[in-house]
Structure 1
Amino acid sequence: MNAAHYQSFADDWERRATIRTRPRRMLEDDDKLIFPLCRQPLVLSATFLKHCPQWRDFVLMQSFYKFINDVVIFETEIVDKTARSIAKNRFSLPFPLACRYDAMTVVVDEDYHALVALDFLQQAVEMTGIQPLDLPGQIELGRALPAAQAQVPVCLHDAVELIGVAIAENTVTHDVAAFSKDGSVKSSVRGLMADHLFDEGRHARFWTQLVRLYWQSASPQDRDHIAQALPVFLTHYLTNDLQKDFDLQLIEHLVISADARLALRDEIQALDFPITHQHPLVTNIMGFLHHSGVLQTPSVARALSDYLPVARKLA
């Protein structure tokens, strides 16, 4: 793998990584929200607003707990695993030492993000007395990666893992950015998101460079195999099934009438977010695949044609 054009961010990490530069953030006891309303459609539904608006803060708190839990799973069980394998030279794709050093800084950052997230969860429980419900043991990425890997030969499993993690790291950057700018949310929570974003922007560039390095060295046959796995990955990664399951569980813990409970269930079941080229996450993902050089491969463009704007399809 030719790393002549790889740009290490080691110096930038030393100067600016949040684990080196940020003090502990404390959750404030004010009237601001702990979780954005726009990210939890349950509390905005007509039935909820009519029959149980008094449960809003409980639902938002549990949604915050789920968000924290998802962050911990994402950081420690998936990104950490991939970055650590690269750093320790145990990945089937060999990367130069500069890449491996940067990968270890990603490990440090991600574990620190998980630690800070758990700190906020603990602070929230102590402040409100609201205990988390049973939280999901899996996130969408945890389902998407093995589903995509099953579409390719075993020798390409690590390559698919690399691209899938890179997609997720680029996606989460945009997601966290929106969270950090919501003025209705507690300042400390927005600060938490801003800190996370500060590191994730660096990570997104790191993973983009690694995918570009790999893709330049991959054989045409390997590229074509991976192209067929990408739509499978996106189908599992962009689903909202796990969120629906969580919201249905939440509804069961609300003290409301049977009719209101049934109506809430129906409203949640009816929620659907078509995954087209207009979906904001799809736009981000296609941007990443373009910048990393993957989308310029004809077999990839064909495999992902359903996610591309008409103008791109005809180009």
Structure 2
Amino acid sequence: MSSYVPFADSWEARATIRTRPRRVLENDHKLIYPLSRQPLVLGQAFQQHCPQWRDFALVQTLYKFINDIVIFETEIVDRTARRIAKDRFAVAFPFAARYDAMTVVIDEDYHALVAMDFLQQTIALTHIEPITLPAEIELSHAIPAALALAPAHLQDAVELICVAIAENTVTNDVAAFSRDDSVKASVRGMMADHLLDEGRHSSFWARLVRLYWLDADEQDRTRIAAILPVFIGHYLTNAIQKRFDSHLIAKLPVCQAVRAELAAEAAAMDFPIGHQHPLMANIQRFFSQSGMLDSRCVQEALGPLLTPQVRP
């Protein structure tokens, strides 16, 4: 396997668990969650019939976001990084990479802890209790769906690539969140802290995938490439978000006619899964950085998911 360049020194100097104080939620006029990330409150029906419930909807959406972080960090990334760190992964990596993987475990569990702290702070400040939150995220289905298609000897490699795609996608998502000046400074600060670590993580996962991909034989590459569209299709669905929005609408104190209008607008909010999907640019960038997009089999398998200029 090709040489690996560790980032342990960078982690010691910059990791948020080592360098950042606790973020305390402000009681000010700013939003607790970006309006752009909850289109329901920007819809015509919401604006017309229940704009006074905007903050309730945004707080509940923040709770879901926090819940998603906890699931993603502790049930998805932590699992894979911990197995790599403890050398219980079918793909062998050098000790330096396994050491870095353990720093990822520490970072991700810390991110989950900070998210839970913000949940408690938000409840204390707003006196708004969370509605029932999803027990899973899109990756909870997407990764098992991909693994079900992989032969036994490729399952860990497929898991590695799926987690790497997700980590590279979430990094850019977090970046947009941290720059929204309409949001409370502490929330943006939490996301900026998260981003500082995730930038290192996204590079780490892309590096591991590149190491694996360079050594993988062509038959294995082709098998993995065929699985990628299935994973992406499950990953980019918004079915869980739609169910949450429906549950949120059901909790609003409005009449049934308004509830039906809100539900109709929410149901229409969809992004077709293709190269124009908002997250596909991030995913394509990962495929390029990891070297996977250099392979003809990946180009052919992804087909219309890629921007036209890189299609085979």
Map of 1:36 onto structure 2: 34
Structure 2 unaligned blocks of 5 or more: none
- Cα shift at 1:311: 1.7
Deviations 1:8-35 (CA, angstroms, capped at 9, x unpaired):
0000000010000000010000010000
Deviations 1:73-100 (CA, angstroms, capped at 9, x unpaired):
0000000000000000001111110000
Matched, 1:63 2:61: yes
Matched, 1:92 2:87: no
Q: Which of 263, 271, 274 pairs up with 1:273?
A: 271
Q: Which of 247, 250, 261 pairs up with 1:249?
A: 247
SS of match in other structure, 2:26: coil
Matched, 1:156 2:140: no
Map of 1:313 onto structure 2: 311
Between the aligned residues of both structures, percent identity stands at 63
Which amino acid is the alignment partner of residue 230 of structure 2?
V
CA distance in 2, matches of 1:227, 1:202: 26
Map of 2:137 onto structure 1: 139
Deviations 1:95-122 (CA, angstroms, capped at 9, x unpaired):
1100000000000000000000000000
CA distance in 2, matches of 1:313, 1:169: 24
Which amino acid is the alignment partner of residue 93 of structure 2?
F
CA distance in 2, matches of 1:223, 1:241: 30
User: Conserved in 2, the CA contact under 8 Å of 1:151 and 1:228?
Assistant: no
Tell me which moved more, 263-272 or 159-168. 263-272
CA distance in 1, matches of 2:79, 2:33: 28
CA distance in 2, matches of 1:56, 1:278: 29
Which amino acid is the alignment partner of residue 76 of structure 2?
I
- Cα shift at 1:280: 3.0
- Cα shift at 1:257: 1.0
- Cα shift at 1:278: 2.4
Map of 2:51 onto structure 1: 53
- Cα shift at 1:183: 0.6
User: Conserved in 2, the CA contact under 8 Å of 1:167 and 1:288?
Assistant: yes
User: Conserved in 2, the CA contact under 8 Å of 1:82 and 1:162?
Assistant: yes
Deviations 1:224-269 (CA, angstroms, capped at 9, x unpaired):
1100100000000011111000000000001101100011111111
Which amino acid is the alignment partner of residue 170 of structure 1?
N
Map of 1:259 onto structure 2: 257
Number of aligned pairs? 312
SS of match in other structure, 1:268: helix
Q: Which of 199, 202, 205 pairs up with 1:201?
A: 199
CA distance in 2, matches of 1:139, 1:154: 25
CA distance in 1, matches of 2:278, 2:36: 15
Map of 1:74 onto structure 2: 72
Deviations 1:247-298 (CA, angstroms, capped at 9, x unpaired):
0000000110110001111111121112221223111111111111111111
SS of match in other structure, 1:285: helix
Matched, 1:166 2:150: no
Which amino acid is the alignment partner of residue 285 of structure 1?
I
CA distance in 1, matches of 2:279, 2:40: 21
User: Conserved in 2, the CA contact under 8 Å of 1:230 and 1:303?
Assistant: yes
Which amino acid is the alignment partner of residue 306 of structure 1?
P
* TM-score normalised over the length of structure 2: 0.99
Kindly report which structure 2 residues correspond to 1:88-237, keeping only aligned pairs within 5 A, or say none: 88-237=86-235
Which amino acid is the alignment partner of residue 51 of structure 1?
H
User: Conserved in 2, the CA contact under 8 Å of 1:76 and 1:114?
Assistant: yes
SS of match in other structure, 2:150: coil
SS of match in other structure, 1:42: helix
CA distance in 1, matches of 2:299, 2:113: 39
* TM-score normalised over the length of structure 1: 0.98
CA distance in 1, matches of 2:198, 2:308: 31
